[in-house]
Structure 1
Amino acid sequence: MNYSHFTKPIKIGKATLPNRIFYSPLAGCSDFPFRKMSAKYKPGLQYCEMVKMDALVRNDENTFRILDYDQSMRPIGAQLCGSKPEYAAESARRIEDLGFDVIDLNCGCPVDKVTKDGSGSGLLKNPEKIGAIIRKMVEAVSIPVTIKIRAGWDDDSIVVEEITKIAEEAGAYAIAVHARTREQGYHGPARWDFITRAVKARNNILVIGNGDLFSPEAASDMIQATGCDALLVSRGIMGNPWIAEDIFHYFNGESPKKRTFLDRKEALLEHLDFAANYYESKKAAIEMRKVGCWYIKDAGGARAFRGLVTKAESVEEMRKLIEEHPFTAE
């Protein structure tokens, strides 16, 4: 099937996005260097890591640091996390004042430290509160408000249809459905039928499919299976910042570029340069420990490399390890 329209512009509220392949906010991963690298491959939208509404309203310095971006990353989205409607309007206004193109409400994060106060996927237990928060955000800003959810807290409380309708009525322009429950975490295959259920429940809100998008073929299969309007790639970006470009080629009937382990090594060095230009040397090296493992996971010598990079204490040390380690194709 031809999905070339996914490579063309789409309008969400007053925002015109260049295509329908979006990159998720990834807590602890999608920092400034990560997004600099991703921007090279032209996703239709990418997000900063999620931030807490109350921290933003308190003017927390670290929270504003998470929201750093530059013009190469546009269109750029911010994702808010919180369970208190009284913070929704002010935090949304602050995001708009920072120049973001889109604001997203996180109703999907499954980790205990987020859900314990009812935030993230904890909000799935209170759909009406989700509606109240979105409504306050929509009333406060002119940029489009979207929402990301999981299908439900567990298999006994699937709320995907209900929240799709509530979000639409509250004024959200799009809903991204991670096709797992909170109880699943990231275990087991994504259940794309949850996305289909959102598509069938909506009137006008755009439905964005999310879950197990690790290849262009999976992207095509998701669209065919669900009828979703756009795609949100999450873990599939890690070590593969070019996945949007690969999907574009595939959807246009072209073969995606074959990337060798040497290509991946060069990309890793480029990512290191972005980190070195953003963080001080030791911090950059620490952040690159995990990043390095993403890029070379399928190369021969990867296990030995992982053991070495955990000890790197500077950009220079990290660069030397990457350049001199004897990777081989597997």
Structure 2
Amino acid sequence: MVAISADLRQRLRQPLHIGAVTVQSRVLQSPLSGVTDRAFRQLVRRYAPASMLYTEMVQATGLCHAQQLAKLMDIGAAEQPISIQLFDCRPDFMAAAARKAVTEGAKTIDINMGCPVNKITKKGGGSSLLRQPEVAEAIVRTVASAVPVPVTVKTRIGWDDDHINAVEFARRMEAAGAQMLTLHGRTRSQGYHGPADWHWIARVKAALAIPVIANGDIVSVESAVRCLEITGADGVMCSRGTLGYPFLVGEIDAFLKTGVVLPPPTLLDRLRCAREHLGLLWQYKGQKGIYQARKHMAWYVKGFAGAAPLRQQLCQIDTLVAGYRLLDDAIAALETDPALGRPGSVPTGVAPG
């Protein structure tokens, strides 16, 4: 049973104010490169109708390649409220990209100062800005003065264990004009390994007047509530916990608003969702979407007997028809005999691997 203090529930039932933007949810879907495209966001939005969504991270210099930028910034009318996340190390390029993002419909501009991937940090973006606070400050100030929407920052607690500067860095971002800060409770050197240190998020929350959103290890309703109790944060952002599970943001949001833990999706629900996701990727991206679907299918198809061989086959699909055939066979077997979804069963008609 998940318990939450009365004071925390009362606070989190209130809308989230990001500058002049009001969001009717304290649970946000993190921007995830190669994941949070329009297809994925459409599914998250179904289960979390009031949450703030984020696009994939967009490099500001991509403004020179309008076609590529347009695809990353492809936003549907039903996706609002939505934020476009940008990264770069040059304030003028960031300002230009931010203006373009606003014309595409962004309600806020989020600046990535936390991505740990080498190809991003070597270009001076992402978490490398934790070691260049003056540059980070200039970026926020320049972008904030260039657009009429709130500017927010997503970052980490520090570069490594010997260089944790979360409080000082966050104060500088607030002073430069950031109107919300999302803090991932890991250092850059950790990447995505080891537990997130939520106590650093609590320290940053205590130091700032703007909203602080907690990120890292938010994988369930229980973990979200525990994080909020420890940090006192103004909300949570879900990241890798939503891979193959676009239900998570909505589950947490529902609990914070009602105190009711929604029943988890059944295996049949998950497979039907995987099938719809596959179709949406084909609809929006064609053949490229089929190749991208392979990793998504691997995330959906796990945790039950017979998952391994089905997953292996789905990770090799080359056509929409092939993917539909595999999923339809598994779905049909479960619809015929729901007991097949129980532990020890094989819902796909193939031998478990």
Shift of the alpha carbon at 1:4?
A: 5.2
Please state if 1:47 is matched with 2:54: yes
Tell me the distance in 2 between the aligned counterparts of 1:297 and 1:7.
34
* Partner residue in 2 for 1:246: 251
Q: Tell me if structure 1 keeps the 8 A contact 2:302–2:311.
A: no
Percent of paired sites with the same residue: 36
Q: 1:83 aligns with which of 69, 79, 89?
A: 89
Q: 1:249 to 1:76 in 2, by over 3 A?
A: closer
1:161-215 alpha-carbon deviations (Å, 9 max, x no partner): 111111111111100000000000000111101101111221x211110000000
Shift of the alpha carbon at 1:273?
A: 2.4
Length-normalised TM-score, structure 1: 0.95
* Partner residue in 2 for 1:35: 41
**1:151 aligns to what SS in structure 2?**
strand
Q: Tell me if structure 2 keeps the 8 A contact 1:46–1:73.
A: yes
* Partner residue in 1 for 2:127: 121
* Partner residue in 2 for 1:329: 342
1:70-94 alpha-carbon deviations (Å, 9 max, x no partner): 0111111100110112212211111
Shift of the alpha carbon at 1:249?
A: 3.2
- Superposed, which structure 2 residues align to 1:1-330 within 5 Å? 1-2=5-6, 3=9, 5-42=11-48, 44-56=51-63, 58-202=64-208, 204-251=209-256, 252-280=258-286, 282-325=287-330, 328-330=341-343
1:133-162 alpha-carbon deviations (Å, 9 max, x no partner): 000000001111000001111011111111
The residue type paired with residue 310 of structure 2 is F
The residue type paired with residue 173 of structure 1 is Q
Q: Tell me if structure 2 keeps the 8 A contact 1:127–1:162.
A: no
**2:175 aligns to what SS in structure 1?**
helix
The residue type paired with residue 246 of structure 2 is P
**1:179 aligns to what SS in structure 2?**
strand
State the aligned residue count: 327
Shift of the alpha carbon at 1:279?
A: 1.9
Q: Tell me if structure 1 keeps the 8 A contact 2:45–2:51.
A: no
Tell me the distance in 2 between the aligned counterparts of 1:226 and 1:207.
9
Moved over 6 A (4+): none
Structure 1: gaps (5+ residues): none
Q: C-alpha root-mean-square deviation of aligned residues, in Å?
A: 1.5
Q: Tell me if structure 2 keeps the 8 A contact 1:77–1:100.
A: yes
Tell me the distance in 1 between the aligned counterparts of 2:62 and 2:281.
25
1:14-52 alpha-carbon deviations (Å, 9 max, x no partner): 211121100000011111111111110125201010011
Shift of the alpha carbon at 1:8?
A: 4.2
**2:324 aligns to what SS in structure 1?**
helix
The residue type paired with residue 342 of structure 2 is A
In our comparison, the structure showing a higher alpha carbon Rg is 2
Tell me the distance in 1 between the aligned counterparts of 2:324 and 2:13.
35
Length-normalised TM-score, structure 2: 0.89
Tell me the distance in 1 between the aligned counterparts of 2:288 and 2:93.
32
**1:77 aligns to what SS in structure 2?**
strand
**2:341 aligns to what SS in structure 1?**
coil
Tell me the distance in 1 between the aligned counterparts of 2:10 and 2:317.
44
Tell me the distance in 1 between the aligned counterparts of 2:174 and 2:327.
48
Q: Tell me if structure 2 keeps the 8 A contact 1:293–1:302.
A: no
**2:187 aligns to what SS in structure 1?**
coil
Q: Tell me if structure 1 keeps the 8 A contact 2:41–2:53.
A: yes
The residue type paired with residue 21 of structure 2 is A
Tell me the distance in 1 between the aligned counterparts of 2:206 and 2:24.
26
Tell me the distance in 2 between the aligned counterparts of 1:255 and 1:79.
31
Q: Tell me if structure 2 keeps the 8 A contact 1:4–1:248.
A: no
Q: Tell me if structure 1 keeps the 8 A contact 2:16–2:234.
A: no
Q: Tell me if structure 2 keeps the 8 A contact 1:144–1:172.
A: yes
